[in-house]
Structure 1
Protein backbone atom coordinates (compact mmCIF):
# COMPACT_ATOMS: atom_id res chain seq x y z
CA UNK A 1 0.00 0.00 0.00
CA UNK A 2 1.26 3.46 -0.94
CA UNK A 3 0.33 6.43 1.23
CA UNK A 4 0.92 10.13 0.68
CA UNK A 5 0.48 12.43 3.67
CA UNK A 6 0.27 16.22 3.38
CA UNK A 7 2.39 16.38 0.23
CA UNK A 8 3.19 19.93 -0.88
CA UNK A 9 5.13 20.99 -3.97
CA UNK A 10 5.74 24.52 -5.23
CA UNK A 11 7.68 26.08 -8.06
CA UNK A 12 8.69 29.57 -7.02
CA UNK A 13 5.63 31.27 -5.55
CA UNK A 14 3.19 28.92 -7.28
CA UNK A 15 1.87 26.01 -5.22
CA UNK A 16 1.16 23.05 -7.49
CA UNK A 17 0.28 20.45 -4.84
CA UNK A 18 -1.07 21.65 -1.51
CA UNK A 19 -1.12 19.27 1.48
CA UNK A 20 -2.36 16.31 -0.54
CA UNK A 21 -3.06 13.03 1.22
CA UNK A 22 -4.12 9.85 -0.52
CA UNK A 23 -3.88 6.07 -0.28
CA UNK A 24 -3.43 3.57 -3.10
CA UNK A 25 -4.38 0.10 -1.92
CA UNK A 26 -2.49 -2.99 -3.00
CA UNK A 27 -3.66 -4.33 -6.33
CA UNK A 28 -5.80 -1.30 -7.13
CA UNK A 29 -5.60 1.38 -9.82
CA UNK A 30 -5.67 5.10 -9.09
CA UNK A 31 -6.42 7.37 -12.04
CA UNK A 32 -5.28 10.98 -11.76
CA UNK A 33 -7.20 13.31 -14.05
CA UNK A 34 -7.55 17.03 -14.61
CA UNK A 35 -6.91 19.81 -17.13
CA UNK A 36 -3.52 20.62 -18.57
CA UNK A 37 -1.38 22.51 -16.07
CA UNK A 38 -3.29 21.23 -13.05
CA UNK A 39 -0.31 19.32 -11.67
CA UNK A 40 -1.04 15.73 -12.71
CA UNK A 41 2.43 15.07 -14.09
CA UNK A 42 4.10 17.00 -11.26
CA UNK A 43 2.36 14.74 -8.76
CA UNK A 44 3.47 11.65 -10.66
CA UNK A 45 7.04 12.96 -10.80
CA UNK A 46 6.99 13.43 -7.02
CA UNK A 47 5.67 9.90 -6.49
CA UNK A 48 8.34 8.42 -8.77
CA UNK A 49 11.18 10.47 -7.26
CA UNK A 50 11.85 12.69 -10.28
CA UNK A 51 10.88 15.76 -8.25
CA UNK A 52 11.53 16.44 -4.56
CA UNK A 53 8.52 17.49 -2.51
CA UNK A 54 8.72 20.54 -0.26
CA UNK A 55 7.01 18.79 2.64
CA UNK A 56 4.97 15.72 3.48
CA UNK A 57 5.58 12.01 3.83
CA UNK A 58 5.45 8.86 1.70
CA UNK A 59 4.84 5.43 3.18
CA UNK A 60 5.04 2.03 1.50
CA UNK A 61 3.39 -0.76 3.48
CA UNK A 62 3.39 1.51 6.51
CA UNK A 63 7.11 2.30 6.37
CA UNK A 64 8.55 5.73 5.62
CA UNK A 65 9.92 6.00 2.10
CA UNK A 66 11.50 8.89 0.20
CA UNK A 67 11.23 8.30 -3.55
CA UNK A 68 13.59 11.20 -4.27
CA UNK A 69 16.57 9.96 -2.27
CA UNK A 70 16.06 6.20 -2.64
CA UNK A 71 18.80 5.06 -4.98
CA UNK A 72 16.99 1.85 -5.91
CA UNK A 73 13.68 3.59 -6.47
CA UNK A 74 12.82 1.60 -9.60
CA UNK A 75 12.55 -1.54 -7.48
CA UNK A 76 9.81 0.14 -5.44
CA UNK A 77 8.03 2.46 -7.86
CA UNK A 78 8.31 1.90 -11.60
CA UNK A 79 7.33 4.40 -14.28
CA UNK A 80 6.29 4.19 -17.91
CA UNK A 81 7.03 7.55 -19.51
CA UNK A 82 4.73 9.27 -21.97
CA UNK A 83 7.28 8.95 -24.78
CA UNK A 84 8.55 5.58 -23.51
CA UNK A 85 12.21 6.75 -23.21
CA UNK A 86 13.65 3.53 -24.64
CA UNK A 87 17.36 3.45 -25.45
CA UNK A 88 17.47 3.57 -29.27
CA UNK A 89 20.89 1.90 -29.54
CA UNK A 90 19.82 -1.15 -27.50
CA UNK A 91 17.64 -4.03 -28.58
CA UNK A 92 14.29 -4.64 -26.95
CA UNK A 93 15.76 -7.35 -24.73
CA UNK A 94 18.76 -5.19 -23.80
CA UNK A 95 16.43 -2.34 -22.84
CA UNK A 96 14.70 -4.69 -20.42
CA UNK A 97 17.77 -6.36 -18.92
CA UNK A 98 19.99 -3.29 -18.44
CA UNK A 99 18.60 -2.04 -15.12
CA UNK A 100 18.12 -5.46 -13.47
CA UNK A 101 21.78 -6.33 -14.11
CA UNK A 102 23.10 -2.92 -13.02
CA UNK A 103 20.76 -2.08 -10.13
CA UNK A 104 19.41 -5.41 -8.88
CA UNK A 105 22.72 -7.15 -9.65
CA UNK A 106 21.02 -10.00 -11.48
CA UNK A 107 23.22 -12.22 -13.61
CA UNK A 108 22.87 -11.78 -17.37
CA UNK A 109 21.27 -15.20 -17.70
CA UNK A 110 18.78 -14.48 -14.91
CA UNK A 111 17.86 -11.08 -16.36
CA UNK A 112 17.53 -12.51 -19.86
CA UNK A 113 15.26 -15.33 -18.68
CA UNK A 114 13.04 -12.86 -16.83
CA UNK A 115 12.97 -10.55 -19.87
CA UNK A 116 11.92 -13.40 -22.13
CA UNK A 117 9.03 -14.24 -19.81
CA UNK A 118 7.89 -10.61 -19.82
CA UNK A 119 8.16 -10.40 -23.61
CA UNK A 120 6.05 -13.52 -24.01
CA UNK A 121 3.52 -12.21 -21.49
CA UNK A 122 3.16 -8.94 -23.43
CA UNK A 123 3.00 -10.61 -26.86
CA UNK A 124 6.47 -9.42 -27.82
CA UNK A 125 8.24 -12.77 -27.83
CA UNK A 126 9.38 -12.41 -31.44
CA UNK A 127 10.73 -8.87 -31.01
CA UNK A 128 13.55 -9.29 -28.50
CA UNK A 129 16.33 -8.64 -31.00
CA UNK A 130 14.67 -5.71 -32.70
CA UNK A 131 15.41 -2.06 -31.97
CA UNK A 132 12.81 0.46 -30.80
CA UNK A 133 12.62 2.21 -34.18
CA UNK A 134 11.48 -1.07 -35.73
CA UNK A 135 8.41 -1.25 -33.48
CA UNK A 136 5.01 0.41 -33.56
CA UNK A 137 4.04 2.88 -30.84
CA UNK A 138 1.95 0.26 -29.09
CA UNK A 139 4.82 -2.22 -29.15
CA UNK A 140 7.25 0.38 -27.81
CA UNK A 141 4.86 1.07 -24.95
CA UNK A 142 4.71 -2.61 -24.07
CA UNK A 143 8.51 -2.74 -24.07
CA UNK A 144 8.54 0.23 -21.69
CA UNK A 145 6.08 -1.60 -19.44
CA UNK A 146 8.20 -4.76 -19.57
CA UNK A 147 11.29 -2.74 -18.67
CA UNK A 148 9.50 -1.27 -15.64
CA UNK A 149 8.14 -4.67 -14.57
CA UNK A 150 11.61 -6.21 -14.80
CA UNK A 151 12.56 -4.17 -11.74
CA UNK A 152 9.79 -5.87 -9.73
CA UNK A 153 8.20 -2.65 -8.47
CA UNK A 154 5.57 -2.43 -5.76
CA UNK A 155 3.76 0.26 -7.75
CA UNK A 156 3.75 0.93 -11.50
CA UNK A 157 3.04 4.47 -12.71
CA UNK A 158 2.06 5.68 -16.17
CA UNK A 159 2.27 9.21 -17.58
CA UNK A 160 -0.47 9.67 -20.20
CA UNK A 161 -0.33 6.08 -21.52
CA UNK A 162 -2.73 6.74 -24.42
CA UNK A 163 -1.48 10.14 -25.60
CA UNK A 164 1.30 8.87 -27.89
CA UNK A 165 -0.85 6.13 -29.40
CA UNK A 166 -3.46 5.88 -32.11
CA UNK A 167 -6.91 6.30 -30.48
CA UNK A 168 -7.84 2.85 -31.72
CA UNK A 169 -5.26 1.37 -29.35
CA UNK A 170 -6.88 2.79 -26.23
CA UNK A 171 -8.89 -0.36 -25.58
CA UNK A 172 -5.75 -2.46 -25.96
CA UNK A 173 -4.03 -0.34 -23.31
CA UNK A 174 -7.04 -0.72 -21.03
CA UNK A 175 -6.87 -4.50 -21.34
CA UNK A 176 -3.15 -4.51 -20.63
CA UNK A 177 -3.46 -2.37 -17.48
CA UNK A 178 -6.43 -4.36 -16.23
CA UNK A 179 -4.54 -7.58 -16.96
CA UNK A 180 -1.68 -6.38 -14.75
CA UNK A 181 -4.23 -5.53 -12.06
CA UNK A 182 -5.51 -9.11 -12.25
CA UNK A 183 -1.94 -10.21 -11.54
CA UNK A 184 -1.95 -8.05 -8.40
CA UNK A 185 0.00 -5.01 -9.66
CA UNK A 186 -0.76 -1.70 -7.93
CA UNK A 187 -0.92 1.07 -10.57
CA UNK A 188 -1.20 4.85 -10.81
CA UNK A 189 -2.27 6.32 -14.14
CA UNK A 190 -2.13 9.99 -15.14
CA UNK A 191 -4.45 10.70 -18.06
CA UNK A 192 -6.25 13.54 -19.78
CA UNK A 193 -8.68 10.96 -21.19
CA UNK A 194 -11.52 10.85 -18.67
CA UNK A 195 -13.33 7.90 -20.23
CA UNK A 196 -10.17 5.80 -20.33
CA UNK A 197 -9.33 6.78 -16.75
CA UNK A 198 -12.80 5.84 -15.51
CA UNK A 199 -12.74 2.50 -17.32
CA UNK A 200 -9.62 1.31 -15.50
CA UNK A 201 -9.85 3.02 -12.11
CA UNK A 202 -10.74 1.73 -8.68
CA UNK A 203 -10.29 5.29 -7.40
CA UNK A 204 -10.20 8.66 -9.17
CA UNK A 205 -8.24 11.74 -8.12
CA UNK A 206 -9.35 14.98 -9.80
CA UNK A 207 -6.79 17.78 -9.75
CA UNK A 208 -7.32 21.40 -10.66
CA UNK A 209 -4.89 24.33 -10.90
CA UNK A 210 -3.70 25.41 -7.45
CA UNK A 211 -5.84 22.88 -5.62
CA UNK A 212 -6.51 19.17 -5.28
CA UNK A 213 -9.92 17.80 -4.40
Structure 2
Protein backbone atom coordinates (compact mmCIF):
# COMPACT_ATOMS: atom_id res chain seq x y z
CA UNK A 1 0.00 0.00 0.00
CA UNK A 2 1.19 3.48 -0.87
CA UNK A 3 0.32 6.38 1.44
CA UNK A 4 1.00 10.07 0.92
CA UNK A 5 0.70 12.20 4.04
CA UNK A 6 0.60 16.01 3.96
CA UNK A 7 2.65 16.23 0.75
CA UNK A 8 3.77 19.72 -0.26
CA UNK A 9 5.69 20.87 -3.31
CA UNK A 10 6.81 24.31 -4.46
CA UNK A 11 8.38 25.65 -7.59
CA UNK A 12 10.07 28.82 -6.47
CA UNK A 13 7.46 30.84 -4.59
CA UNK A 14 4.53 29.02 -6.15
CA UNK A 15 2.86 26.33 -4.04
CA UNK A 16 1.78 23.44 -6.29
CA UNK A 17 0.79 20.78 -3.74
CA UNK A 18 -0.45 21.78 -0.31
CA UNK A 19 -0.78 19.15 2.45
CA UNK A 20 -2.08 16.53 0.03
CA UNK A 21 -3.10 13.11 1.36
CA UNK A 22 -3.97 9.95 -0.55
CA UNK A 23 -3.84 6.18 -0.20
CA UNK A 24 -3.48 3.56 -2.93
CA UNK A 25 -4.19 0.00 -1.89
CA UNK A 26 -2.33 -2.94 -3.41
CA UNK A 27 -3.87 -3.97 -6.72
CA UNK A 28 -6.00 -0.83 -6.89
CA UNK A 29 -6.29 1.64 -9.76
CA UNK A 30 -6.34 5.24 -8.53
CA UNK A 31 -7.19 8.02 -10.97
CA UNK A 32 -6.06 11.57 -10.21
CA UNK A 33 -8.32 14.03 -12.01
CA UNK A 34 -8.24 17.79 -12.27
CA UNK A 35 -7.83 20.77 -14.59
CA UNK A 36 -4.60 21.86 -16.21
CA UNK A 37 -2.35 23.51 -13.64
CA UNK A 38 -3.78 21.57 -10.71
CA UNK A 39 -0.50 19.80 -10.02
CA UNK A 40 -1.46 16.33 -11.29
CA UNK A 41 1.75 15.75 -13.21
CA UNK A 42 3.82 17.27 -10.41
CA UNK A 43 2.23 14.83 -7.98
CA UNK A 44 3.05 11.95 -10.31
CA UNK A 45 6.65 13.14 -10.62
CA UNK A 46 6.93 13.26 -6.83
CA UNK A 47 5.50 9.76 -6.46
CA UNK A 48 7.84 8.37 -9.11
CA UNK A 49 10.93 10.09 -7.70
CA UNK A 50 11.49 12.53 -10.55
CA UNK A 51 10.90 15.44 -8.15
CA UNK A 52 11.74 15.75 -4.47
CA UNK A 53 8.85 16.64 -2.15
CA UNK A 54 9.26 19.73 0.02
CA UNK A 55 7.14 18.48 2.89
CA UNK A 56 5.18 15.49 4.13
CA UNK A 57 5.89 11.79 3.99
CA UNK A 58 5.54 8.92 1.54
CA UNK A 59 4.96 5.49 3.06
CA UNK A 60 5.19 2.21 1.15
CA UNK A 61 3.97 -0.97 2.82
CA UNK A 62 4.12 0.67 6.23
CA UNK A 63 7.69 1.94 5.85
CA UNK A 64 8.92 5.46 5.10
CA UNK A 65 9.92 5.63 1.44
CA UNK A 66 11.72 8.35 -0.49
CA UNK A 67 11.26 7.69 -4.21
CA UNK A 68 13.64 10.52 -5.11
CA UNK A 69 16.57 8.94 -3.27
CA UNK A 70 15.49 5.49 -4.42
CA UNK A 71 15.35 6.21 -8.15
CA UNK A 72 17.56 4.01 -10.33
CA UNK A 73 18.30 1.69 -7.39
CA UNK A 74 15.42 -0.66 -8.03
CA UNK A 75 12.13 -0.72 -9.88
CA UNK A 76 9.54 0.08 -7.23
CA UNK A 77 7.64 2.65 -9.31
CA UNK A 78 7.41 2.76 -13.10
CA UNK A 79 6.11 5.58 -15.29
CA UNK A 80 4.49 5.73 -18.72
CA UNK A 81 5.03 9.33 -19.81
CA UNK A 82 2.57 11.44 -21.76
CA UNK A 83 5.08 11.92 -24.60
CA UNK A 84 6.31 8.29 -24.28
CA UNK A 85 10.01 9.36 -24.12
CA UNK A 86 11.16 6.51 -26.32
CA UNK A 87 14.74 6.70 -27.57
CA UNK A 88 14.40 7.64 -31.27
CA UNK A 89 17.71 6.02 -32.25
CA UNK A 90 16.84 2.64 -30.72
CA UNK A 91 14.57 -0.08 -32.06
CA UNK A 92 11.46 -1.13 -30.16
CA UNK A 93 13.30 -4.15 -28.75
CA UNK A 94 16.29 -2.08 -27.67
CA UNK A 95 14.05 0.55 -26.06
CA UNK A 96 12.58 -2.17 -23.84
CA UNK A 97 15.78 -4.06 -23.01
CA UNK A 98 18.09 -1.12 -22.25
CA UNK A 99 16.98 -0.37 -18.68
CA UNK A 100 16.73 -4.01 -17.47
CA UNK A 101 20.26 -4.61 -18.78
CA UNK A 102 21.75 -1.44 -17.28
CA UNK A 103 19.78 -1.05 -14.04
CA UNK A 104 18.79 -4.62 -13.20
CA UNK A 105 21.91 -6.22 -14.71
CA UNK A 106 19.90 -8.69 -16.78
CA UNK A 107 21.77 -10.49 -19.54
CA UNK A 108 20.93 -9.48 -23.10
CA UNK A 109 19.34 -12.88 -23.72
CA UNK A 110 17.13 -12.67 -20.62
CA UNK A 111 16.16 -9.06 -21.31
CA UNK A 112 15.21 -9.87 -24.90
CA UNK A 113 13.24 -12.95 -23.87
CA UNK A 114 11.22 -10.86 -21.41
CA UNK A 115 10.79 -8.03 -23.93
CA UNK A 116 9.46 -10.36 -26.61
CA UNK A 117 6.98 -11.85 -24.15
CA UNK A 118 5.74 -8.34 -23.32
CA UNK A 119 5.53 -7.39 -27.00
CA UNK A 120 3.48 -10.47 -27.74
CA UNK A 121 1.16 -9.71 -24.83
CA UNK A 122 0.66 -6.17 -26.13
CA UNK A 123 0.15 -7.28 -29.76
CA UNK A 124 3.45 -5.76 -30.87
CA UNK A 125 5.42 -8.91 -31.62
CA UNK A 126 5.90 -7.87 -35.26
CA UNK A 127 7.25 -4.42 -34.33
CA UNK A 128 10.42 -5.26 -32.42
CA UNK A 129 12.76 -4.15 -35.22
CA UNK A 130 10.97 -0.86 -35.95
CA UNK A 131 11.97 2.58 -34.68
CA UNK A 132 9.66 5.00 -32.84
CA UNK A 133 9.10 7.19 -35.91
CA UNK A 134 7.65 4.16 -37.70
CA UNK A 135 4.97 3.59 -35.02
CA UNK A 136 1.51 5.04 -34.52
CA UNK A 137 0.65 6.90 -31.32
CA UNK A 138 -1.11 3.88 -29.89
CA UNK A 139 1.84 1.62 -30.73
CA UNK A 140 4.30 4.04 -29.12
CA UNK A 141 2.21 4.03 -25.99
CA UNK A 142 2.21 0.23 -25.81
CA UNK A 143 5.98 0.18 -26.30
CA UNK A 144 6.32 2.70 -23.46
CA UNK A 145 4.12 0.46 -21.33
CA UNK A 146 6.22 -2.61 -22.22
CA UNK A 147 9.37 -0.68 -21.30
CA UNK A 148 7.92 0.24 -17.91
CA UNK A 149 6.70 -3.31 -17.25
CA UNK A 150 10.12 -4.73 -18.15
CA UNK A 151 11.45 -3.17 -14.95
CA UNK A 152 8.90 -5.19 -12.95
CA UNK A 153 7.59 -2.23 -10.92
CA UNK A 154 5.45 -2.63 -7.83
CA UNK A 155 3.42 0.44 -8.84
CA UNK A 156 2.84 1.73 -12.37
CA UNK A 157 2.02 5.39 -13.06
CA UNK A 158 0.59 6.96 -16.21
CA UNK A 159 0.67 10.65 -17.16
CA UNK A 160 -2.36 11.53 -19.32
CA UNK A 161 -2.40 8.19 -21.18
CA UNK A 162 -5.30 9.16 -23.47
CA UNK A 163 -4.41 12.77 -24.26
CA UNK A 164 -3.38 12.19 -27.88
CA UNK A 165 -5.55 9.18 -28.67
CA UNK A 166 -8.80 8.81 -30.58
CA UNK A 167 -11.80 7.10 -28.89
CA UNK A 168 -10.96 3.61 -30.18
CA UNK A 169 -7.43 3.80 -28.83
CA UNK A 170 -8.74 5.17 -25.54
CA UNK A 171 -10.76 1.98 -25.13
CA UNK A 172 -7.61 0.01 -25.90
CA UNK A 173 -5.79 1.77 -23.07
CA UNK A 174 -8.71 1.06 -20.74
CA UNK A 175 -8.42 -2.65 -21.56
CA UNK A 176 -4.66 -2.63 -20.95
CA UNK A 177 -5.03 -0.96 -17.55
CA UNK A 178 -7.87 -3.25 -16.49
CA UNK A 179 -5.91 -6.26 -17.72
CA UNK A 180 -2.95 -5.26 -15.55
CA UNK A 181 -5.32 -4.73 -12.64
CA UNK A 182 -6.54 -8.30 -13.08
CA UNK A 183 -2.90 -9.36 -12.75
CA UNK A 184 -2.68 -7.49 -9.44
CA UNK A 185 -0.73 -4.43 -10.62
CA UNK A 186 -1.19 -1.29 -8.51
CA UNK A 187 -1.69 1.67 -10.88
CA UNK A 188 -1.96 5.46 -10.60
CA UNK A 189 -3.41 7.31 -13.58
CA UNK A 190 -3.23 11.07 -14.01
CA UNK A 191 -5.92 12.28 -16.42
CA UNK A 192 -8.15 15.21 -17.29
CA UNK A 193 -10.73 12.76 -18.69
CA UNK A 194 -13.28 12.06 -15.96
CA UNK A 195 -15.18 9.45 -17.98
CA UNK A 196 -11.98 7.52 -18.65
CA UNK A 197 -11.12 7.74 -14.95
CA UNK A 198 -14.48 6.38 -13.91
CA UNK A 199 -14.16 3.51 -16.40
CA UNK A 200 -10.85 2.25 -15.04
CA UNK A 201 -10.50 3.37 -11.44
CA UNK A 202 -11.40 1.88 -8.08
CA UNK A 203 -11.05 5.38 -6.61
CA UNK A 204 -10.85 8.89 -8.07
CA UNK A 205 -8.88 11.71 -6.42
CA UNK A 206 -9.93 15.19 -7.53
CA UNK A 207 -7.33 17.96 -7.32
CA UNK A 208 -7.80 21.68 -7.97
CA UNK A 209 -5.34 24.38 -8.88
CA UNK A 210 -4.18 26.43 -5.93
CA UNK A 211 -4.65 30.21 -6.09
CA UNK A 212 -1.68 32.28 -7.21
CA UNK A 213 0.36 33.59 -4.32
TM-score (norm 2): 0.96
Rounded Cα–Cα distance in structure 2 between residues aligned with 1:14 and 1:146: 36
RMSD of aligned alpha carbons: 1.2
Rounded Cα–Cα distance in structure 1 between residues aligned with 2:128 and 2:73: 26
Counterparts of 1:101-112 in structure 2 under 5 Å?
101-112=101-112
- 2:49 and 2:71 in contact (8 A); partners too: no
What number of residue pairs does the alignment pair up?
211
* Deviation at residue 15 of structure 1 after TM alignment: 1.5
Q: Which residue is 1:200 aligned to?
A: 200
Closer, same or farther: CA 157–74 of 1 in aligned 2, 3 Å: farther
Deviates more, 1:10-19 or 1:31-40: 10-19
* Deviation at residue 14 of structure 1 after TM alignment: 2.1
Counterparts of 1:123-138 in structure 2 under 5 Å?
123-138=123-138
- 1:79 and 1:157 in contact (8 A); partners too: yes
Rounded Cα–Cα distance in structure 2 between residues aligned with 1:168 and 1:120: 20
Counterparts of 1:130-169 in structure 2 under 5 Å?
130-169=130-169
* Deviation at residue 173 of structure 1 after TM alignment: 0.8
* Deviation at residue 74 of structure 1 after TM alignment: 6.0
* Deviation at residue 58 of structure 1 after TM alignment: 1.1
Q: In the alignment, does 2:58 pair up with 1:52?
A: no
Counterparts of 1:1-213 in structure 2 under 5 Å?
1-72=1-72, 75-210=75-210
SS at match of 2:164: coil
Rounded Cα–Cα distance in structure 1 between residues aligned with 2:52 and 2:74: 16
Closer, same or farther: CA 85–191 of 1 in aligned 2, 3 Å: same
Which segments of 5 or more consecutive residues in structure 2 lack a partner in the other structure? Answer: none
Which aligned runs of 4 or more in structure 1 are off by greater than 3 angstroms?
none
